[in-house]
Structure 1
Amino acid sequence: MHCPNSGQLGEDLVAQWLQSTGWVILHRRFSSRWGEIDIIAEYARKAEGTSGELRTQHSILIFVEVKTRSSGSWDAGGRSAITLQKQAKICHTAEIFLAEYPEKADCSCRFDVAIVYCQRIPKNLIGVTANQEALATSSVHGYKLKLQEYIPAAFDSLIDNG
């Protein structure tokens, strides 16, 4: 059973979670001829200047690929869909983003992956069910979405483990 608009709902959940942890969403579904990046966000570290004022010290940009799947999906919850070809497309698209926004060129960049599970909420569900803890959850139109895993610098770890 597939969650309607599951990709969009999963991206919404991840964007909300990122914002709640201090990230600023710069773009959603940024497209180029190479492909699309689901979420681009920035986190600016603040440091105190010599006269006590807060100033931005260093910004980090993240390019986030969101994979939303129903339980029991065939592709390891979306992990195996992040092929080397997919990573290359996202990297090229990130380069185009940085060319369009040269003021972001000095930021550190990272490629992250978010794994979201979508499941139908049974109409006869009574009481509380135990399940694996999630980073964030939401319920929309009879479906429950769970941000099950967030993998910072995922391309590095996927290549190492691939």
Structure 2
Amino acid sequence: MNFPNIGQLGENLVAQWLQSKGWIILHRRFSSRWGEIDIIAQHDGESGTAQEHGENFSQAKRPATANSTQHSLLAFVEVKTRSSGSWDAGGKSAITPQKQAKIWRTAGMFLAQYPEKADYSCRFDVAIVYCQRVSKNLTVVTSTQEALTTSSAAGYNFRLQEYILAAFDSSIDNG
């Protein structure tokens, strides 16, 4: 069968969009025994930016100080690519507490592997991508919601419909 990997194409769109917003893609499909994180991105913002939008992965590791110079932010991004026939709240309901815990644990493994990033502020984002097969008879794609960005690949149109900042946090029960 020659079906394109729709999930990977959706991830490509999100990675390109993040890069256009000044993010550096550190990893794609980072895996550990706990699971996989679709995209790990870093943003080196100005003073306060990372603190406003991020959350410290481990409050105990890095107490806030007035002289702190670290303003980098890591985003652990879960991408959900859906077509019109498979709506599970657009992929949002697929981010169960169990899935969140797996992502959280995998993020911990990433930080253990890259200890120089362990003190960065972190957040867990979710990107919702809508895909639609391109039909020869289809001349326009309609949407009730403005897309953040679009692309076409492998006979499909992709639209980043929603990017949810800090969709869940690191206070998940890991039991």
Q: TM-score, normalised by structure 1?
A: 0.84
Q: Of the candidates 149, 153, 159, which is equivalent to residue 162 of structure 2?
A: 149
Which structure has the highest strand share of the two? 1
Q: How does 1:112-131 map to 2 (within 5 A)?
A: 112-126=125-139, 128-131=140-143
Shift of the alpha carbon at 1:46? 3.9
Deviations 1:90-120 (A, max 9, x none): 0000000000000001100000000001101
Counterpart of 1:28?
A: 28
> What amino acid sits opposite 1:42 in the alignment?
Q
The C-alpha deviation readout for 1:136-161, integer Å capped at 9, x for no partner, is 100112210000000000015xx9xx
Report the aligned-residue RMSD. 1.7
Contact 2:13/2:151, CA 8 A, preserved across alignment = yes
Equivalent residue pairs, number: 146
Within a 5 Å distance, the mapping from 1:59-98 to structure 2 comes to 59-98=72-111
Q: Which residue number in structure 1 is paired with residue 118 of structure 2? A: 105
Where does structure 2 lack aligned partners over 5 or more consecutive residues?
48-68
| Deviates most, 131-140 or 92-101 | 131-140
Work out the CA distance in 2 between the residues paired with 1:35 and 1:12: 19
Would you identify which runs of 4 or more consecutive aligned residues in structure 1 move more than 4 Å? none
**In structure 2, distance between residues paired with 1:130 and 1:81:** 25
3-state secondary structure, aligned to 1:112: strand
- The answer to whether the 8 Å contact 1:139/1:145 transfers is yes
TM superposition shift of 1:133: 1.2
- Cα separation, partners in 2 of 1:74 and 1:46, compared to 1, 3 Å: closer
The alignment-based identity, stated in percent, is 77
Which residue among 138, 142, 147 is the counterpart of 2:151? 138
The DSSP-based 3-state class of the residue aligned with 1:86 is helix
Contact map agreement 1:45 1:57 (CA 8 A) in 2:
no
